[in-house]
Structure 1
Amino acid sequence: MKNIEIDHLKVSSNIKLSSIPTHIDVEASEKKKEKELDKIRIKLSKLQDKLYAHNKYGVLICLQGMDTAGKDSLVREVFKEFNARGVVVHSFKTPNANELEHDFLWRHYIALPEKGKFSVFNRTHYENVLVTRVHPNYILNENIPGITTVENITTEFWENRFESINNFEKHISQNGIIILKFFLHLSKEEQRHRLIRRLETEKHNWKFSPSDLNERELWDEYQRCYEEAINKTSKAYAPWYIIPADNKETARYLVAKSILKELEKYTDIKEPELEQEIKDNIKMYRDKLASEQ
């Protein structure tokens, strides 16, 4: 299997999405990719145990991508070996009435992982500079002072929103949240095939909505907004990874490998040592339990 340098997927300077491939050949069969993913899943599950015992870091995994990019199945496959108590998945949809009574980051802040745990944002706080940017009329639902019409939403408004996101991520990273952000980079042609499969496969019909086609017509606008959002918010403390997503199995493998490589850098994540008094008396405790038989 071809070795893919994960750092090549990380955004460390300005990128142009149109020049980045949506497919990458790892020179392996689907069975081989699944086998390699399984190895990584096992390593991640062991690391999860250490993270939980260490109890100082939380991990935030952010997944973004166009419809059909494979976010749901990626969550299912990558985190399959995790202890269910240690990972929570949040799928952020249109803000409800209660969420709209707060600032745009509030519902994301309260969903952050506890120390020792993982949170997966399946669609994230970046929807607030993606969907709302393509459909600026949605901003009016937030009831922001001075924003009464779409015309009030200026370039400065978006710059301030990017700044808020960067400040939010910097703040939580300084307080023990490890942030990894993944853009599942799908081609428009592959999306077309996947939408057709949704319509042709009865058990997947429920996933299709006519609005999918309306959003597809705005493909270029979404790509422009994704590109700008990634360029403005990929930081050392909260990096973006661009994952070629035309092949789902490859995308899952690359995301899992990226998470593992990044977390392995935290060499301080270890199980806490027993107090010396307990260590000194382990034999006594064991003998006491054995004598109960």
Structure 2
Amino acid sequence: MRDGRERTPEKERTPDKQARRIAEFIAPLRVKPGAKVNLSEDFDPAHKAGIKDKAAGQELLAVGVELLADYQRRLAAQGTHGVLVCLQALDAGGKDGTIRHVMSGVNPQGVHVTNFRVPSAEELGHDYLWRYACRLPRRGEIGIFNRSHYEEVLVVRVHPELLSRQRVPGADEAGKAVWRRRFREINDWERYLADNGFRVVKLFLNLSKEEQRTRFLRRIDVPERNWKFSAADARERTFWDAYQSAFSEMLSATSTPWAPWYVVPADRKWFARICAAAVLADTLIGLDPRYPEIHDKSRRELAREKILLEAEAPEGSAPDPYAAKLAKQSKGSKQPKGSKKTKGSKKTKRRQR
């Protein structure tokens, strides 16, 4: 994906070069497995990778959305792999907008979004990963968790009283050991998914405290946005430092070779959306889904059906309108430049005189 400072020549927009550009673009966002992360020092929420402005960003996002639409069709047709996207952020981090814009071009039948709220009584009666496992995507689908199983090592850690509601034996006395154990369990679960053909894409939208304050105020000032604001969201700001510490340890402990974390600068919504589209595109390119090939027997059946359908063409119509359209386009593209003067070119000459 380009950085927005200059246009990429058409001849350079080959699939391989495009894939390399995307990989280079997202490399600084990736948390290296085994790295010790200090979120406030290692990642800048306002970073924009040299992209000039929002207008240039919109152009890049459009390219990413188009690419995703193409690969999502292939993923659904092949039906071999599934993709799970985990979105984590503090309140007002831009999760909903990221989903809405990045997935705007894909077939909604192949994408499922799950918003995880406070666990129900039934969910609390199971292990803490149960409700997430119930909503995993099928093969050929993209599943998006708006908040994910990582809430179990974030919100539950910042608010330890929630842990007692889960009735985990010995958890109250385990101290930090319970979080180390959950990191291991989550890593093992994600590896199990990866081994079975389900790629896990993890995006943390990194928002600054000041930008969150500004967005909260906008929700209060704009009547149409009042419904998005909750006093509970504002109260959570008092736990800002505790969350930053929990995020840092989570990123350090659970960014793995099979399911790495990407820390997305989220102070500029448009840039966050470009990053999310690039990470997801890189994942799908890596899976390289293909349309299924049909066998000779099926090809012969298609040929027979085509003959029958062509025979039904009304008098004066092309037997196969689509094939006729393609042939016309192909003929037009092969026509030498300047071989035929158009009406438009004559008008242009008259204006020039």
TM-score (norm: length of structure 1): 0.95
CA RMSD of the aligned region, Å?
A: 1.3
Q: Does 1:189 align with 2:210?
A: yes
Aligned-pair identity in percent equals: 37
Alignment of 1:225 with 2:225, yes or no, is no
Secondary structure class of the residue paired with 1:93: coil
* Contact 2:87–2:203 (CA under 8 A) maintained in structure 1: yes
Please tell me the residue identity of whatever aligns with 1:5.
Answer: F
1:118-148 Cα deviation digits (max 9, x unpaired): 000010000000000000010111122234x
Q: Alignment partner for residue 305 of structure 2, among 270, 281, 285?
A: 285
Which residue is equivalent to 1:212?
233
Given that 2:51 and 2:57 are in contact with CA atoms closer than 8 Å, whether structure 1 keeps it comes out as no
Q: How far did residue 289 of structure 1 move?
A: 1.4
Report how far residue 30 of structure 1 moved.
1.7
Is the 8 Å Cα contact of residues 136 and 153 (structure 1) preserved in structure 2? Answer: no
Using the alignment, how far apart are the partners of 2:25 and 2:36 within structure 1? 19
1:200 aligns with 2:224: no
Comparing 53-62 with 9-18, greater Cα deviation is found at 9-18
Structure 1 SS opposite 2:220: helix
Q: Does 1:132 align with 2:156?
A: yes
Q: After the TM superposition, which residues 126-165 of structure 1 pair with which residues of structure 2 at under 5 Å, given as runs?
A: 126-147=150-171, 150=172, 152-165=173-186
Identify which range, 64-73 or 27-36, moves more after superposition: 27-36
How many residues end up aligned between the 2 structures? Answer: 289
Shift of 1:284: 2.3
**What is the alpha-carbon distance in structure 2 between the residues aligned to residue 28 and residue 113 of structure 1?**
37
Separation in 1 of the partners of 2:132 and 2:251? 18
Q: 1:115 aligns with which of 139, 143, 147?
A: 139
Q: Which residue of 2 aligns with 1:29?
A: 53
Partner-residue secondary structure (3-state), 1:5: helix
Letter in 2 for 1:88: H
Calculate the TM-score normalised by the size of structure 2.
Answer: 0.79
* Aligned-partner SS, 1:217: helix
SS in 2 for 1:246: coil
How big is each residue's C-alpha offset from its partner over 1:193-230, in whole Å with a ceiling of 9 and x where there is no partner?
11111110111111111111211011010000011011
Runs (5+) with no aligned partner, structure 1: none
Provide the residue aligned with 1:264 in structure 2. 285
Higher-RCO chain (CA-CA 8 Å, sequence separation at least 6): 1
Structure with max Cα Rg: 2
Alpha-carbon distance, 1:31 to partner? 2.3
Residues 70-116 of structure 1: CA deviation (Å, up to 9, x unaligned): 00111000001110100000111110111001000001001111000
Native 8 Å contact 2:44 2:265 kept in 1:
yes
Shift of 1:27: 2.6
What residue is the counterpart of 1:96 in the other structure? 120
1:274 is the counterpart of 2:294:
yes
Tell whether the 8 Å contact from 1:130 to 1:222 is kept in structure 2 after alignment. Answer: yes
SS in 1 for 2:286: coil
Number of the residue aligned with 2:110: 86
What SS class does the counterpart of residue 287 from structure 2 fall into? Answer: coil
Question: Which of 85, 88, 91 is 1:67 aligned to?
Answer: 91
State which of 33, 39, 48 in structure 2 corresponds to 1:17: 39
